[in-house]
Amino acid sequence: MIGAGAALLLLGVAAPGAAGAAPPAATVQPQLLVTGLDGGSGSAIGPGGDLYVTEPVSGELTRIDRRTGAATPVADCLPPLLPAVGPGGAMDVDFLGGTAYVLVTLVGADLGGDDVVGLYRVDGPHTCTVVADIGTWSQANPPEGFEIEVPTGVQYAMESWHGGFLVTDGHHNRVLHVTLDGGVREVLALGNVVPTGLSASGHRVLLALAGPVPHLPENGRVVAFRPGDDDVREVASGARLLVDVERVRGGVLALSQGEFTEGNIEGSPADPDTGQLLRVTRDGGLAPVAGPFDRPTSMEVVGRTAYVVTLDGEVWTTRLLG
């Protein structure tokens, strides 16, 4: 059984956590590119090569010049997070045909809000349109074998795939396929593993698993699957609270939000300044590359540079070695 808190673990409850044990030393010191965003969550590389980041607190989508760090709001029409809930709002962004689409979660009536939990299309600076009502579909199609506390689910990340988007739901423990005509279907059902970030290439998808509380390192895993196939293969394990995964030249990177102090309430993020960027090793482990980061939420990789977004509204760059 996964409680609502366990599913919210990475979604940005900005509560202080006790300092955890220091993670192993990384080899690269990250550099600050952007600060002052109204919260930080999902990210994507958009048309022209700029970095786009969702700001859940304000309900904005912002474009960032990767060379200068200049941040320009491009849309202010997304539902903001609900203050009484904490996490939620605009969680992730991706592009299809040059158009931005944003995943919004934890804003529905079951949590005291009026907005749609689902996929939004950005039509202009002040106009966002609901494309798919994921929350209503999730209520009508609950997963089997779990006690559900948030009927609309807790969606975390999205990735363009076959003319639509793959979407993870960390509370309902599954991956959905959402189409631009509003269709929603389940493509992978999982146990109590809390799926988070995705990286799709062709028919093969890499998936980060955060694992349930207390988020032991052995439960932080990267797995591979083909949508529609129940066969899930482990790629690597050994880091707490994995929140994202990316293919890079010659390998795979994973993002750990960091140490989690046992006894903290479900729904708390990792301890401050313990997040790390990791590389999958040949023996299926996860080796530190860069850090520490303060509760990272997502990453993008362009060439030899990784861009890491953090919960407190910062973007850091890391030059990848090798």
pTM of the model: 0.92
Place 4 in a pLDDT band, splitting at 50, 70 and 90: very low
- The answer, yes or no, to whether residue 213 has pLDDT greater than 90, is no
The whole-angstrom separation of Cα 30 and Cα 204 is 30
Place 6 in a pLDDT band, splitting at 50, 70 and 90: very low
What's the rounded mean pLDDT across residues 170-175? 96
- The answer, yes or no, to whether residue 274 has pLDDT greater than 90, is yes
For the beta sheet containing 286-293, the strands, ordered from the edge strand earlier in sequence to the opposite edge, are: 242-248, 251-256, 275-280, 286-293
Question: What sign for the dihedral angle of Cα 62, 175, 291, 257?
Answer: positive
The whole-angstrom separation of Cα 166 and Cα 187 is 9
Report the pLDDT value the prediction gives residue 182, as an integer from 0 to 100: 98
The whole-angstrom separation of Cα 240 and Cα 49 is 31
Report the pLDDT value the prediction gives residue 26, as an integer from 0 to 100: 61
Place 98 in a pLDDT band, splitting at 50, 70 and 90: very high
Report the pLDDT value the prediction gives residue 24, as an integer from 0 to 100: 54
Q: What is the pLDDT of residues 216-229, one digit of tens each?
A: 999 999 999 999 88
Beta-carbon neighbour count of residue 183 at 10 Å?
12
- The answer, yes or no, to whether residue 197 has pLDDT greater than 70, is yes
- The answer, yes or no, to whether residue 316 has pLDDT greater than 80, is yes
